[in-house]
Amino acid sequence: MTLLHSFESSGNWLFRHRGTVPVWVFVLCSPVLILAHKPELDFAAMPCCWQCAVLTLAILVSLAGIVVRAYTIGTTPHGTSGRNTDKQVAKQLNTKGIYSIVRHPLYLGNYLMWLGLLIFIFDLPFLVVVSLVYWLYYERIMYAEERFLEREFGQSYLDWSMTVPAFWPRFRQFEKGDVPFHFKSVLRREYSGIFAITLCFTLVDYFRALLVTDFTLESWIRPSGIVCLIMLVLMLVLRTLKHHSKLLASEENRD
């Protein structure tokens, strides 16, 4: 197998598992929080104002990622490259809306969500390493996607890709899309990802508290735990509605 086909093959495999592999990478890398723990650089040892600033920045960055993903999913036509989950699908080429400023907005949104978590972890070497792993991981997926789109749309795709950056948006060339925002599409597809990032924030918060405090029964009740519990209930409600009712069904699948 040539290197070209190897990149595409591995990219397609990672594409099919892109919802679970990053979570496992984070879980497997989490021991670095124990091995690299330095009390003198501990988040909990910082003044409260700095803790609030870091937490606020982390949440805002992750929320920005959620917004990018929500806008992409809510305004992308059915059956196109922005909404498939199992294999490469593209009945038409997305060139308007968010796709007029960046070619891979969903992966940008993913990175911002994880970047917020990495900021909250407050370990610069860990942030750099995970960012590099993220880039190598998604670079293969983006390569496979773009090979597929090039075969499907030929010169039209090449012309579009020459003017739109792959990852970092070029806001000045935004062109409004033709599809109105569908909030139900976001609810139907994003509840698991939002809960996953909430759970990761909560685990880091509890792990950090466990390192620096003597846990009692009362100390297990933390704001992050309450938020995570609320998000769990919302996720279960949305999952039930998705699989056992038509309230969140797309217009194409309503009948």
Instruction: Answer whether residue 7 shows pLDDT above 80.
Output: no
Instruction: Answer whether residue 215 shows pLDDT above 80.
Output: no
What's the sign of the alpha-carbon dihedral 112, 114, 118, 120?
A: positive
Span of 80-94, 100-114, 224-238 with lowest mean pLDDT: 80-94
Residue 52 inside a domain? The answer is: yes
The strand pairing partners of 97, in sequence order, are: 175
Residue 223 inside a domain? The answer is: no
Instruction: Answer whether residue 156 shows pLDDT above 90.
Output: no
CATH of the domain at 104: 1.20.120.1630
CB 213 within 8 A of CB 45: no
Residue 205 inside a domain? The answer is: no
Question: Looking at per-residue confidence, does 239 or 45 come out higher?
Answer: 239
CB 69 within 8 A of CB 79: no
Query: How far is CA 207 from its chain centroid?
Result: 22
pLDDT tens digits for range 122-142: 878 778 888 888 888 888 888
Q: What is the mean pLDDT of the chain?
A: 79
The pLDDT confidence band at residue 147, using thresholds 50, 70 and 90, is confident
Query: First and final CA of the chain: distance in angstroms?
Result: 45
CB 74 within 8 A of CB 67: no
% of the chain surpassing 90 pLDDT = 26
Instruction: Answer whether residue 192 shows pLDDT above 70.
Output: yes
For the whole model, what pTM was predicted? 0.82
Residue 228 inside a domain? The answer is: no
pLDDT tens digits for range 77-103: 765 654 455 555 556 788 888 999 999
Residue 245 inside a domain? The answer is: no
Residue 97: which residues within 8 A CB-CB, separation 6 or more? 71, 72, 75, 76, 175, 176, 177, 179
Residue 90 inside a domain? The answer is: yes
Number of structural domains in the chain: 1
Residue 159 inside a domain? The answer is: yes
Residue 255 inside a domain? The answer is: no
Q: Find the domain containing 52 and state its range.
A: 3-181
pLDDT tens digits for range 26-40: 666 666 655 555 544
Average pLDDT over residues 144-149: 82
Residue 56 pLDDT? 93
Highest mean pLDDT pick, 57-61, 141-145, 251-255: 57-61
* C-alpha–C-alpha distance, residues 230 and 228, integer Å: 5
Question: Looking at per-residue confidence, does 117 or 23 come out higher?
Answer: 117
Which three-class secondary structure state does DSSP give residue 227? helix
